[in-house]
Structure 1
């Protein structure tokens, strides 16, 4: 498998422009795939590296400068992603102050198809009081969704297969590490095969410290039209579900459906424990349009990502009409709440944690119906429990 290094901080290596395709590596794939890389200029995107993968059917972009997040995607004439109010993204992290707005500054750069949240924390902002060895106290404020999405990759490489299935892989290393804090290296491999309507994200997290550490992880997958629209539906095999708060509870009877854009709409969130297939231990969720001829599917293992959040943010089209499908190690409550309920990953010295998921983009009614049948078969294993108000252990008792 030929490999091409685009960034390697350890070797002082950085490639500004890169292009490769099936012909240049003598790949006999039936699809004319390509991988390109360029540095963006102007506005808040200035200095951002962008890698575009085109597998011949499905095109998507990776942003090494923003924690190896996935930016925009396209399959056929359909956009896979959303329209963020950020406007001129992908935003260079140099222009994002994570502690703005009382810890909500993360939103200043948020416009990805998928942004990772973590690793020191991944939920709502909170303040922590710590007692020092000398008995004095210090107060530390943690911002929304952590830092990993705003840390540039220190290593980036492209690997291409010259034998079936001719896999295309973009590898990246991102380190969230500082003195007196977690020191974790994420190694990600984003892969696809020529002609496929899928991509897979496989992340491995390594504790670099000589002492035990901990981490939180949430994948913020975000979708707008054409999958999100009035009458669109969220489909999943539910084991247990609870609304995040009293506002979300007001819409509990139609949490799985979507309304048209509503300027000024306040977000609603629902927390899930999902059913897993008895055959392979994996689960899946889907967002499908009203007609049922387009959809996006996430496949993952609840053993790796046991907590799932549905985020409905259906404001005006210019405000960010979007919904989030969010597999995670925990729910996006403040970390102290999650830690008290044993939803923070413990990593021994040198320990590793792996999370993997596949995005599948559907473009026919037959494909959508097949996934719905797959979900219904898993759901048939047990009757779902639906809580009508916020409840333990998902969130504070309402």
Structure 2
């Protein structure tokens, strides 16, 4: 391993907590790190009061991680183009203390929803449902559990990787039993950040888990005429509302106040076990791209929510181990992951922010090459095993 400098910012097991942290890459020695930096601060005021925020700048790409909200990715920007969206929460990132998941019939999770990427899970990650006396809210708990460990690592030899490591535990008596160990890694001057997650069973019996990555994008990548591009095997509308937009499932309209969300469940082709999904703007000179392995994330959901700009004009590109149906439906179809004692499930996703027509065209050509394995099958309505029929 290359020479590395490490800085522990949070370690609840050893009563370590650093409120303010500034790391200037120029002080580390290698010239390649001169334009880079990492900061940590605690936010004050409104519902963000008490939220810790870590900002990483690699000289080209800057992104912000929220340890207080399950190590979610709040915002990112590269070359003047932001990646993310404008949530109606307005004063986020919202502290979990102000989020009541069971409110509003089980959709209270939405009260804190404003990230570029939030993990959904780990006991469940789909629509709310009841099982006996237990009520399971929308998208689960992991996004509202603070990290108990956070550290920053900087490699002092090529490629000079900058890594933020975090650990979040969703484990309690008679339920839960998984710990998330995540790393966000980038390199100086890169337009990309890689998120590697390892989910470990921390109990003495097998445990089950689900996870879905809710990547959310608004302008400038989302606008009237934007397109969703991915090497699709199968496309299935989730419900009759999605059927209504099926003819243009991969295209986007302008902001439309009162728009009702549409969701499409997809199976993607892969090459060497990896695939890519892209959202590009109308002019084809701006795009965001997700690259990931289909072994760890075999399912993909496309969420279209093109409401008014102040209502949440946003689309979600969502790889997951399952589709966001109620957990009993997913379990019956083998899409709930079982971790044996000592077992682990690993996922890795890279976000790229792409600018320039040539660069966007290269990604489109790459996806077209993967798509050449077969044309997509677009189903006219909800169907098994993707969604409940009728």
Same fold, judged at TM 0.5 (above): yes
Deviations 1:14-49 (A, max 9, x none): 000001122121122165000000000111000000
Does 1:240 pair with 2:234? yes
CA separation in 1, counterparts of 2:163 and 2:199? 18
Q: CA deviation at 1:97?
A: 0.5
Q: Deviations over 1:186-237 (max 9, x none)?
A: 0000000010000000000110010001100000000000000000000000
Please say if 1:66 is aligned against 2:49: no
Q: Is the 8 A contact 1:67 1:174 kept in 2?
A: yes
Number of residue equivalences = 387
Distance in 2 (CA, whole Å) between partners of 1:152 and 1:121 is 18
Partner of 1:343: 335
Match of 1:2 in 2: 5
Question: TM-score under structure 2 normalisation?
Answer: 0.98
Instruction: Provide the alpha-carbon RMSD of the alignment.
Output: 0.7
Match of 1:134 in 2: none
- 1:28 and 1:162 in contact (8 A); partners too: no
Q: C-alpha offsets along residues 315-367 of structure 1, whole Å, 9 cap, x if unaligned?
A: 00000100000000000000000000000001001111101010011011001
Is this contact kept in 2: 1:185–1:206, CA < 8 A?
A: yes
Q: Counterpart in 2 of 1:318?
A: 310
The answer to whether the 8 Å contact 2:154/2:163 transfers is: yes
Are the aligned partners of 2:36 and 2:59 in contact in 1 as well (CA < 8 Å)? Answer: yes
Does structure 2 conserve the Cα–Cα contact (< 8 Å) formed by 1:61 and 1:70? Answer: yes
Question: 2:387 matched to which residue of 1?
Answer: 395
2:25 aligned residue: 22
- Residue 83 of structure 1 corresponds to 86
Partner of 2:207: 213
Find the aligned partners of 1:110 and 1:379 in 2 and give their Cα distance. Answer: 33
Give TM-score, length-normalised by structure 1: 0.96
Q: Which runs of 4+ in 1 moved over 6 A?
A: none
SS at match of 1:29: helix
Q: Residues 47-75 of structure 1: CA distance to partner in whole angstroms, max 9, x if unpaired?
A: 00000000000111000000000001111
- Counterparts of 1:231 and 1:310, CA distance in 2: 16
Could you tell me which runs of 5 or more consecutive residues in structure 1 were left unpaired when the two chains were aligned: 130-138
Partner of 2:246: 252
In structure 2, list runs of 5 or more residues that go unmatched: none
Q: Distance in 1 between matches of 2:82 and 2:349?
A: 20
Q: In structure 2, what is the equivalent of residue 367 of structure 1?
A: 359
> Does the Cα contact within 8 Å between 1:202 and 1:357 map onto a contact in 2?
yes
Q: How does 1:195-344 map to 2 (within 5 A)?
A: 195-277=189-271, 280-344=272-336
| In structure 1, C-alpha distance between the alignment counterparts of 2:65 and 2:343, rounded to whole Å | 27
CA contact (8 A) 2:26 2:34 kept: no
In 1, distance between residues paired with 2:265 and 2:41?
Answer: 39
Alignment map for 1:59-208 (pairs within 5 Å): 59-129=62-132, 139-208=133-202
Q: How far apart are 1:78 and its partner, in Å?
A: 1.3
For residues 284 and 290 of structure 1, the distance between their equivalents in structure 2, rounded to whole angstroms, comes to 19
What is the CA–CA distance in structure 1 between the aligned matches of 2:343 and 2:250, rounded to whole Å?
38
1:31–1:195: 8 Å Cα contact kept in structure 2?
A: no
